[in-house]
Amino acid sequence: MNFSANLGFLFTDLSLPDGIRAAKAAGFSAVECHFPYDTRPADIMTALTETGLPMLGLNTHPGNRDAGEFGLSAMPGRGADARAEIDRACDYAVATGTRMVHVMAGRTDGGPDADQAFVDTLSYATERAATNGLDILIEPINHRDVPGYHLSRVEQAVDLIDRIGAPNLKIMFDCYHVQIMQGDLIQRFRTHQHMIGHVQIAAVPDRGEPDQGELSYHHIIPALRDLGYTAPIGAEYKPRGTDTDAGLGWLSAYSG
């Protein structure tokens, strides 16, 4: 089994380059991150080259989180800021050999102006990313953790992809968010698999290691593999203890 360490939540006591090294030592086959922008791309590249791990994905900058922003792309009137962040994310992805950029929607009133803003920004993002051979991801995020997040349901992402019609626009299928908002994970994955670019996991409801709670990953992960999904699965959980390594017992259960 192939897993990617999400360095937005794992090994956060380390710098990103050292997090990459720790992920390698722990047995992950890839890494992904949230917001790497304070780290020089060259330092990321050094650690990736040294470990041989690929960086799978990164997020556009969320904006001013102190002011409640969690992405800008669906916010009416913020198109120029959103496009600048997409440019920055694509440049960073190119500099680090990263293939997927998650374009964060942000919180909106869910109205037609926000829908139109998101479509316009995603059209820009897919064209911009295509010039570098990158994929754009959009992620349904649950409303308990992020009230008002513009994109919260898988079928809403499917509609956007149909509407925009860009082959490099795909869904980040985060089992944690999908379970909280909708459930029926395996059937939903099967129905939309051709549009899914990346999968992430965490326990529900505590978002801890994927070995407790209401989702049985020992059933879900083999089911995804049986459906032909062979890419690394993103371990995007918040360790229950302070030490990421101490909680990695779940990973060894999948080895061999």
In whole angstroms, what is the distance from residue 197 CA to residue 211 CA? Answer: 24
CA angle 32, 34, 35 (to 5 degrees): 125
Q: In this structure, what token pair is assigned to residue 117?
A: 């803003």
The least distance separating Mg ion from the CB of residue 105, rounded to whole angstroms, comes to 13
Identify whether 76 is preceded by a cis peptide bond (ω within 30 of 0): no
Q: What is the rounded distance in angstroms from the CA atom of residue 199 to the CA atom of residue 231?
A: 9
| Closest distance to ligand LASSHYVV from the beta carbon of 235 (Å) | 11
With CB under 5 A as the contact rule, which of the stretches 8-16, 172-180, 188-196, 210-218 interacts with Mg ion? Answer: 172-180
What is the rounded distance in angstroms from the CA atom of residue 206 to the CA atom of residue 145? Answer: 11
State which H helix or E strand residue 101 sits in: strand 100-102
Neighbours of 103 (CB within 10 A): 29
Q: Which does 135 bind (CB under 5 to 8 A by kind): Mg ion, ligand LASSHYVV, none?
A: none
CA nearest neighbour of 172 among 10, 11, 81, 58: 58
- Give the one residue of 4, 126, 179, 200 binding Mg ion; rule: CB under 5 A: 200
In the complex with ligand LASSHYVV, the residue whose CB is nearer, 52 or 67, is 67
**Cα distances (angstroms) measured from residue 80 to each of 77, 104, 125, 131:** 8, 14, 12, 19
Q: Is 127 a catalytic residue?
A: no
174 binds Mg ion (CB under 5 A): yes
For residue 256, the minimal CB distance to ligand LASSHYVV (Å) is 28
Residues facing residue 170 across a β-bridge: 137
Query: Shortest approach of Mg ion to residue 176 CB, angstroms?
Result: 7
Site string for ligand LASSHYVV, 103-142 (x = CB under 6 A): ------------------------------------x-x-
Q: Which of residues 33-92 bind ligand LASSHYVV (CB under 6 A)?
A: 34, 59
d(CA 150, CA 118): 9
Our CB check for ligand LASSHYVV shows the closer of 59 and 179 to be 59
Task: Compute how many other C-beta atoms are within 10 angstroms of the C-beta atom of residue 183.
Answer: 12
Q: Does 32 bind Mg ion (CB under 5 A)?
A: no
Is there a catalytic annotation at residue 139? yes
Rounded-to-10 torsion of CA 11, 88, 170, 207: 30
Out of 32, 85, 139, 209, the active site residue is: 139
The distance of closest approach from Cβ of residue 129 to Mg ion in the complex, given in angstroms and rounded to an integer, is 19
Question: How many residues lie near ligand LASSHYVV (CB under 6 A)?
Answer: 9
Residues found near ligand LASSHYVV in the complex (CB under 6 A): 34, 59, 102, 139, 141, 174, 177, 200, 236
What are the residue numbers of the active site? 139, 236
